[in-house]
Structure 1
């Protein structure tokens, strides 16, 4: 495979993208930093097909990224291959407002093949290619220039090995008849809604034991206010205010701005500055949540009562049995939250009740809950059996 020098001029990038547009697929990775910002700062883009690979410097002065943008989001004939591509896709969506498509994620493919639960890239390379990667440059500051040879070699390796892994994983998926599984997962991965930080929903990430509608209404308003502040200032949301601070303010709202100086986690200046005034405005405009808006966090087992935890354990055992028999990662089939929601009675908008997940696990999970299925041990192996006349 031909490895190009770091690309920092528009002409070379345009020529590379023209060649790659005729490939069957491209492997893509990015390097970025976001410790001090709300939006990730894109520092390097690596791309390869089965013939050539290059790193692109998005920080280079005057570099026209249009050919690369067209390649990634406008060329729907070209398959884009990522590994654990969630953050890479978030960056592309932030910069272009569009999603790359079609997609192939090697981490999800590996889970569908039973290689591991969210297997890391280096472990996947070692598993399939028997190559042990040097992780020394993993935590480098990718924003500093110039990048040295070791950094570039590390970065390029992420896509050269990815370009080799992809055909191997694809062939194995086809042999096991799991191509449709991955197609369904890639459609979910490419959903833009997953990468939009909606300020009005940001409160759902904050843990708070209080279930009062007025308290949760204030928390929703405060979380949205913080999100808008963080986006506008391009600062991590925790730099504006910590989650626990918002939860405390929601539960014990100050009556006057001056009282903010007593709130732990806030600067004393907030008692009389503009940001403190905006916080107080958010509190003032908050309205109690409607009953249907309040998530069922405190009692995920719903009407199951005190036996809910034991039922969850049975469903998790069923999940392990089905994952073992199918040789697929259990986490790809269902997660704890999915099981909790199923026990609580939720049936709509449940991935485990549609597609391949339903056939592999969901329908048996429902049968177990309804008392139509039981565990048994046959030849020292846990199996599921249907209960006759149940």
Structure 2
């Protein structure tokens, strides 16, 4: 594989992207800093295929990243491969208003062919290539210039290894016939709605204090205000006000600014500073949340009770058995709250649709309906249909 030196000007970047545009896939990774800013600061972009790879310096004077964004977001013929790519996709969206497409995430893919829930990149490389990555450069200051040779080598390695691993993962997905299982997960990763910073929707990320429209209306107004303040100052939203403090203020709004000093999570300065004044004005203008914006109630059946809780526990045990049997991450199949809903009588669930129904949901439903039971065979815990158990018992009795 040809490894290019750090690209710092537009023309070499354009030439690289023209060559990569002829590939079936490109692997992409980024290095960024976001500890002290609202917007992640893009410091380095690594991109490559099986033949060549390079690191691109987005902080270089005069460099135009347009050829890269065109390849990433407008070229539908080239698959963009990431590992745990959520934050990388967010960065692309912040620059372009678009997300890379089509897209493939090897961390998500590993869930379909192994029991790995969130395998890290170093473990991925070790398991597929039997190589150990030097993590020493991982936590360096990527915004400082010049970058060291060690930093560049480490960064480019993130895509060179991935370019070797991806075809292996793809082949295994094809052999197991599980590629279609990942379509919805990849579409979710590429959905621009996940990365939009819409202040009016920011409240949905905060744990809602109940379902009171007045309280939620205040929370919506406060969350939108906090986003605006954080964006304007370009600092993390939590440095303005933490989530739990915002929810507390929405539930128990102060009557006057001096009361802000009594709120847990706010300093004494809030009693008379300008940001405190702005917060009070937001509270004064807040209106109850409209009915059409109220969060949907969680799908619930009858209260579980002791018997229902026991059934839910049995479903979780079944999930562990099935995940082990077919070598898949349990999280890709279902979640604990979904199994509790199934035990409570809810039937409108993803677990009872499509491939999840065939792989797990059908047996889960039969377990709830008493048609399936646990059995120990050859020292292993397995699932057996009740009718089959009855037949086996009858045969044994007849033989005796």
Q: Is TM (by shorter chain) over 0.5?
A: yes
The 5 A counterparts of 1:4-43 are 4-43=4-43
| Aligned partner of residue 304 in structure 1, secondary structure | coil
| Aligned partner of residue 43 in structure 1, secondary structure | strand
Q: Answer whether contact 1:84 1:105 (CA < 8 A) is retained.
A: yes
Distance 1:280 1:302, change over 3 A: farther
Q: Deviations over 1:115-145 (max 9, x none)?
A: 5221111111111111011000111111111
Q: Bigger CA drift: 6-15 or 243-252?
A: 243-252
| 2:310 is equivalent to residue 306 of structure 1 | no
| In structure 2, distance between residues paired with 1:24 and 1:245 | 48
Q: Answer whether contact 1:213 1:291 (CA < 8 A) is retained.
A: no
Distance 1:23 1:385, change over 3 A: same
| Aligned partner of residue 318 in structure 1, secondary structure | helix
TM-aligned CA deviation for residue 265 of structure 1: 2.5
TM-aligned CA deviation for residue 230 of structure 1: 1.9
| In structure 1, distance between residues paired with 2:359 and 2:28 | 31
| 2:383 is equivalent to residue 384 of structure 1 | yes
Q: Tell me what 1:365 maps to.
A: 364
TM-aligned CA deviation for residue 192 of structure 1: 1.8
| Aligned partner of residue 137 in structure 2, secondary structure | coil
| In structure 2, distance between residues paired with 1:90 and 1:98 | 9
Distance 1:270 1:357, change over 3 A: same
| In structure 1, distance between residues paired with 2:269 and 2:103 | 48
Q: Tell me what 2:294 maps to.
A: 293
TM-score, normalisation: structure 1: 0.90
Q: Answer whether contact 1:214 1:289 (CA < 8 A) is retained.
A: no
| In structure 2, distance between residues paired with 1:211 and 1:359 | 36
Q: Deviations over 1:155-182 (max 9, x none)?
A: 0100000000011111111111112223
TM-aligned CA deviation for residue 211 of structure 1: 5.6
Q: Bigger CA drift: 252-261 or 368-377?
A: 368-377
Q: Answer whether contact 1:84 1:108 (CA < 8 A) is retained.
A: yes
| In structure 1, distance between residues paired with 2:282 and 2:369 | 46
Q: Tell me what 1:96 maps to.
A: 96
Q: Answer whether contact 2:209 2:251 (CA < 8 A) is retained.
A: no
TM-aligned CA deviation for residue 103 of structure 1: 1.4
Distance 1:102 1:292, change over 3 A: closer
Q: Answer whether contact 1:304 1:343 (CA < 8 A) is retained.
A: no
| In structure 2, distance between residues paired with 1:225 and 1:347 | 40
| In structure 2, distance between residues paired with 1:226 and 1:353 | 40
The 5 A counterparts of 1:204-223 are 204-207=204-207, 212-223=212-223
Q: Tell me what 2:355 maps to.
A: 356
| In structure 1, distance between residues paired with 2:185 and 2:207 | 29
- For the pair shown, the structure with the greater C-alpha radius of gyration is 2
Q: Answer whether contact 1:112 1:332 (CA < 8 A) is retained.
A: yes
TM-aligned CA deviation for residue 194 of structure 1: 2.2
TM-aligned CA deviation for residue 16 of structure 1: 0.6
- Unaligned 5+ runs, structure 2: 389-400
Q: Bigger CA drift: 27-36 or 356-365?
A: 356-365
TM-aligned CA deviation for residue 369 of structure 1: 3.1
Q: Tell me what 2:391 maps to.
A: none
TM-score, normalisation: structure 2: 0.88
Q: Tell me what 2:128 maps to.
A: 128
Q: Tell me what 2:332 maps to.
A: 332
The 5 A counterparts of 1:7-86 are 7-86=7-86
| Aligned partner of residue 30 in structure 1, secondary structure | strand
TM-aligned CA deviation for residue 100 of structure 1: 1.2
The 5 A counterparts of 1:127-146 are 127-146=127-146
The 5 A counterparts of 1:192-341 are 192-207=192-207, 212-284=212-284, 285-287=286-288, 290=291, 293=294, 303-307=302-306, 308-341=308-341
Distance 1:315 1:73, change over 3 A: same
TM-aligned CA deviation for residue 5 of structure 1: 0.7
Distance 1:111 1:294, change over 3 A: closer
Q: Bigger CA drift: 26-35 or 171-180?
A: 171-180
Q: Bigger CA drift: 311-320 or 144-153?
A: 311-320
Distance 1:240 1:361, change over 3 A: same
TM-aligned CA deviation for residue 379 of structure 1: 2.9
Distance 1:294 1:17, change over 3 A: closer
| In structure 1, distance between residues paired with 2:367 and 2:30 | 44
| Aligned partner of residue 80 in structure 2, secondary structure | strand
Aligned residues: 386
| In structure 2, distance between residues paired with 1:335 and 1:39 | 31
Distance 1:223 1:152, change over 3 A: same
